[in-house]
A and B are shown apart, each in its own frame.
Chain A
């Protein structure tokens, strides 16, 4: 059964820039699905459409049976999302961040405390529950975000470059959690990453997107065979080329660069 179905999805931005160009793919329930591509390939735009943050220019999406455009509330309740950039409130404690999330997602108050406790123990942050997030390391923040994303019992967990900037120990830790969840709860996982070894090791299926189009999909093994490569990294490079992609600076870079100020 497909839990995510994407058909002929296209997103254009102004100046006739096509970020996502007529892509179709499915994610099966219980699968760990890797969505790979160089910077600026259309990954984040696709994720924003799947998670209701951006409307498609054309094409259809079904997430857990719901349409992100018309049934955004149902889609949002079906998803746990860990964004590329941290999205915790630094001035609140771990517990308070979890509690806020529970209220926003209307987790019934009778289960709330019990669930928060269980998840904080699961990501090994229970003893730090009353510490402010600003004292947390990058890896601890990530673990907390994963726990938070699971709090409302989503059907699908979205991880957008979840291990960026983390040391190998923490990366290993995080993937162990995610694989355990996938196995024990049957949780569907949709993730992006630039670390090919993570996709090779954890993903049951991989799609590669470049210049807004899906150029290949299959298991890591299939992608290797298709290109006659020894590793997924080689296969990826041979499919997407060697030149480095440019990407617009994010607002945070802009803030550092003292550049643009007005959005419009």
Chain B
């Protein structure tokens, strides 16, 4: 059982590291946000008394890197449906659970790598994290990665082709990112935006990263950890169920 999960995990990693274009492409966006927003809004943020914006923004952009890669690793299942490889795994004498577990862990690992790369880029942009709590930050990064890979898997299980890609991008991925407190503090928001942000699991991921990287947390680390773990488990359950219903 372990060897089956392992080989499917390894497959995700090989696909990621072989696709240089994808790696570089997915670094471009966080880099752009870090530079444009970080340096663009930095002075205003400072004037408003918020302090160094890069310190505030970097955990948000790291979460973004993980979020995007995780969801798209999950959504890769649509490609596998289109190009047939999914059939090969689904007719093998192994349980769907093992296939789903291998894929989710592989996708999450790749997303985690992406987050680490963005972390190093943000260091170059002037980010100074608290080094002592770095291992704890890694825990939060892993939780974000697993949660959103499971979400991607769930979405991919009910979609048949990539036509829905724009829809997913504009109505799921972008709102999750923009309404998570990754770009702005959650204090003093209009009620409606606050409500959405509180329902958004990424808010707790960003907050957890901020709590561990720059020792500033809105909800409290334990609260973040509890919400992320619960949502990740629920999404793995839903994703697993929908995945088990795929017909080829």
Task: Return chain B residues, CB-CB under 8 Å to A76.
Answer: 91-93
Within 8 Å of chain A (Cβ to Cβ): is B15? yes
Q: Which residues of A contact B248 (CB under 8 A)?
A: 53
**Does B18 touch A at the CB level, under 8 Å?**
yes
CB within 8 Å of A: which B1-52 residues: 3-4, 7-8, 11, 14-15, 18-19
| A 179-210 to B, binary, CB cutoff 8 A, 1 in contact else 0 | 00000000000000000000000000000000
A residues in contact with B87, CB < 8 Å: 83, 85, 87
1/0 per residue, CB under 8 A from B, across A216-260: the answer is: 000000000000000000000000000000000001101100111
* Most central of B7, B87, B92, B163 by chain A CB within 10 Å: B92
Distance in Å: Cβ of B92 to nearest Cβ of chain A: 4
Selected contact of A104 from candidates B19, B94, B158, B247, CB within 8 Å: B94
A53 to chain B, nearest CB (A): 6
Q: Closest CB-CB distance, B66 to chain A, in whole Å? A: 22
Listed stretches B76-84, B122-130, B143-151; interface member: B76-84
B93 contacts A77, CB within 8 Å? yes
Residue B136 at the chain A interface, CB threshold 8 Å: no
Given contacts A76-B93, A77-B93, contact A89 B160 (CB under 8 A): no
- Chain B, interface SS category: helix
Pairwise interchain contact A263-B82, C-beta atoms closer than 8 A: no
A86 within 8 A of B: yes
Q: Which residue of B lies closest to A85 (CB)?
A: B84
> Is the Cβ of A100 less than 8 Å from the Cβ of B7?
yes
A262 and B164 contact, Cβ closer than 8 Å, known pairs A83-B84, A86-B84, A89-B85: yes
| B-chain residues with CB within 8 Å of residue A85 when the two chains form the complex | 84, 87
> Which residues does chain A contribute within 8 Å of B86, judged by CB atoms?
87
Question: Is there a chain A Cβ closer than 8 Å to B116's Cβ?
Answer: no
In whole angstroms, what is the CA distance A261 to B78 when docked? 12
Contact partners of A65 in chain B: CB under 8 A: none
B174 at the interface (CB under 8 A from A): no
User: In this assembly, does A264 line the interface, its C-beta being within 8 Å of a C-beta of chain B?
Assistant: yes
A255 touches B82 (CB 8 A): yes
Q: From residue A87, how far is it (CB to closest CB) to chain B in Å?
A: 4
- The CA-CA distance from A144 to B86 in the complex, in Å, is 17
Which residues of A lie under 8 Å from residue B159 when comparing CB positions?
261-263
The distance in angstroms between the C-alpha atoms of A252 and B14, with both chains bound, is 25
Known contacts A85-B84, A88-B85, A251-B82; is-contact A263 B160 (Cβ 8 Å): yes
Question: Contact check: which of A51, A74, A83, A91 meets B14 at CB < 8 Å?
Answer: A91
Cα-based distance from A59 to B248 in the complex (angstroms): 21
- Answer whether residue A52 sits at the interface, using C-beta atoms and an 8 A cutoff: yes
Question: Does B81 lie within 8 Å of A100, measured CB to CB?
Answer: no
CA distance A85 to B86 in the complex (A): 11
- Whether A261 lies near B163 (C-beta < 8 A) is yes
Contact of A53 with B91 in the complex, beta carbons under 8 Å: yes
Interface residues of B in 227-248 (CB under 8 A from A): 247-248
Question: B163 and A258: CB pair below 8 A?
Answer: yes
Contact between chains at A81 and B91 (CB < 8 Å): yes
With contacts A85-B84, A91-B18, A92-B14 taken as known, whether A51 is within 8 angstroms of B91 at the C-beta atoms is yes
Are A104 and B89 CB-contacts (below 8 A) given A53-B247, A86-B84, A251-B81?
Answer: yes
B114 CB to closest chain A CB, in angstroms?
A: 18
Say yes or no for A211: interface residue by CB 8 A criterion: no
B93 cross-chain contacts in A, Cβ below 8 A: 72-74, 76-77, 104-106
Q: Which chain B positions have C-beta within 8 A of A264?
A: 158
Can you list 24 A-B pairs with a CB-CB distance of less than 8 A? A53-B248, A72-B93, A74-B93, A79-B91, A83-B84, A83-B87, A87-B86, A88-B85, A89-B15, A91-B14, A100-B7, A100-B8, A101-B88, A101-B92, A104-B94, A105-B92, A132-B18, A252-B161, A255-B161, A255-B163, A260-B160, A261-B167, A262-B160, A263-B158
Would you list the 7 A-B pairs with minimal beta carbon distance, nearest first?
A87-B84, A104-B92, A76-B93, A255-B161, A261-B163, A103-B7, A87-B88
